[in-house]
Structure 1
């Protein structure tokens, strides 16, 4: 009877993270420290730029998810500079356009997210957190197109720059160049 439970557990372990690769602790710590330093630099710089510009918006909420990709998975195609910067900026623009056209949030949210995904496919800049940017824009009723450039594009550029410096200083190649 005991082997049956063991086989059952092994068979269904992927539902509980069994499909995740084992990451050495040194790499986990490197990723966590990098995300912390990178986000602190981006948020501090964005807050300073906000104070200079007088704009209320200075932070994009999906920045943490982008940081996970840039610092923990720097080799992923979805963590590369074009994907991060263009994906986030495009999605913000799409979300803003949708909120101008569709005033019903239950329709605007899925439309903004799905159209941003389509745009990312077309521009070859798939970045999963960017679909959340489109939703955040609709949920926040962001009506100004400048939001797509500051904070979204500026924060994305700063995150990529911090990721490049940190990754290269800690022995990880970023951005990755195709062979």
Structure 2
């Protein structure tokens, strides 16, 4: 049975219950702050789109794995924004969804490699843009970039409260 345990999460490192609770509570508080602020900013600007759908996946990285290079501010903000911009360009350039969808994701991944801002949820941002036929470049800045900045700021504030260092500075 142990031979096959890794198929059912057996390869996951053990995490103390306090750390699990801290991560879950932090993600809740962080997302509430981001969503409330983004909704308010959207209402001020008269913009309906104030939320990006992949924010939950970004919150998982930022709050549960804050030491990961993929959860650092540059990766979160630049990765999400770049992927949204690429997705919007693909929507304008490619009319066939069967080509546009994989092209947007693959170019986003390539772009994140070049800019050294790998953030897995960002690849989903490019897909969301293509699937939603988002045509306005404004979407890349609000909500995508603004939500990403707010999430990083919420994590930084939460780190002050919990003593968990964020962002991580290379030694």
TM bin, normalised by shorter chain, reads over 0.9
Shift of 1:73: 0.4
Residue matched to 1:69:
61
Deviations 1:33-87 (A, max 9, x none): 0000000000000000010001111000000000000000000000000000000
Structure (1 or 2) with the larger CA radius of gyration = 1
Calculate the aligned-residue CA RMSD, in Å.
Answer: 0.5
Report if the CA contact (8 A) 1:71-1:167 is conserved. no
Residue matched to 2:75:
83
Residue matched to 1:143:
135
Deviations 1:107-141 (A, max 9, x none): 10110000000000000000000000000000000
CA distance in 1 between partners of 2:104 and 2:82 (Å): 11
Residue 106, structure 1, aligned to residue 104, structure 2: no
Q: 2:84 aligns with which of 88, 92, 98?
A: 92
Aligned length in residues: 171
CA distance in 2 between partners of 1:177 and 1:61 (Å): 28
Q: 2:118 aligns with which of 103, 109, 126?
A: 126
Q: Which runs of 5+ in 2 are unaligned?
A: none
Shift of 1:168: 2.6
Partner SS for 1:74: coil
CA distance in 2 between partners of 1:51 and 1:168 (Å): 30
Residue 117, structure 1, aligned to residue 109, structure 2: yes
Shift of 1:171: 1.4
Report if the CA contact (8 A) 1:109-1:139 is conserved. yes
Residue matched to 1:159:
151
CA distance in 1 between partners of 2:6 and 2:160 (Å): 33
Q: 2:162 aligns with which of 160, 165, 170?
A: 170
Report if the CA contact (8 A) 1:113-1:132 is conserved. yes
Q: Which runs of 5+ in 1 are unaligned?
A: 1-8
CA distance in 2 between partners of 1:150 and 1:86 (Å): 13
Report if the CA contact (8 A) 1:96-1:143 is conserved. yes
Shift of 1:12: 1.3
TM-score (norm 2): 0.99
